[in-house]
Amino acid sequence: MSKRVGIIGGGAAGLFTACMLMKLQVNRELDVTILESNPEPGKKLTLTGHGRCNITNRKPVSELKKGYHEAENYIYPALKAFGPEDTVRFFETDLGLKVKEEDNNRIFPVCDSAIQVRNTIVSYISDQTNIVCNAKVLDIKKTSCFEVHTASGIYEFDCIVLSCGGSSFPHTGSAGDSYRFALSSGHSVVPLRAALAPVKTENGSQNITKKLSGVSVTAGVSVYCDGRKNASNNGEILFADFGLTGPAIMEISREIPGDLSGMDVWIELDLIPSLTEEQLDKELISLIDEHPDTKISTLMSGFVPASVADEITSKAEAAGLYAQSFTRENRRRLIKEAKHLRIGIDQVPSLDRAYVTRGGVMLKEVDRKTFQSRLVPGLYIIGEALDIDGISGGYNLQACMSEAYLAAADILGK
Nearer to ligand FAD, 53 or 409 (CB): 53
Nearer to ligand FAD, 4 or 336 (CB): 4
Residues 219, 237: contact at Cβ < 8 Å?
yes
In the complex, residue closest to ligand FAD by CB: 11
Q: How many CB atoms lie within 10 A of CB 276?
A: 12
Nearer to ligand FAD, 165 or 220 (CB): 165
Strand partners, 7: 34, 161
Contacts of 356 (CB under 8 A, 6+ apart): 166, 168, 195, 196, 384, 389, 390, 396
Q: How many CB atoms lie within 10 A of CB 394?
A: 29
Q: List the one residue out of 394, 356, 406 whose CA is nearest residue 59.
A: 394
Nearer to ligand FAD, 16 or 239 (CB): 16
Nearer to ligand FAD, 24 or 133 (CB): 133
Quote the CA–CA distance of 59 and 69 in Å, as a whole number. 16
Nearer to ligand FAD, 237 or 400 (CB): 400
Quote the CA–CA distance of 178 and 382 in Å, as a whole number. 10
Shortest distance (Å) from residue 378 CB to ligand FAD: 18
Shortest distance (Å) from residue 347 CB to ligand FAD: 19
Shortest distance (Å) from residue 131 CB to ligand FAD: 11
Shortest distance (Å) from residue 381 CB to ligand FAD: 10
Shortest distance (Å) from residue 304 CB to ligand FAD: 29
Shortest distance (Å) from residue 273 CB to ligand FAD: 26
Burial (CB count <10 Å: 0-12, 13-18, 19+), residue 336: middle
Strand (E) or helix (H) holding 85 = helix 84-89
Quote the CA–CA distance of 183 and 127 in Å, as a whole number. 34
Question: Which chain residues interact with ligand FAD by CB under 6 A?
Answer: 8-14, 35-38, 43-45, 47-49, 53-54, 136-137, 163-165, 168-169, 172-174, 177, 355-356, 383-385, 394-397, 400
Shortest distance (Å) from residue 69 CB to ligand FAD: 14
Pairing of strands 106-109, 3-8: unpaired
Strand (E) or helix (H) holding 244 = strand 243-245
Nearer to ligand FAD, 157 or 326 (CB): 157
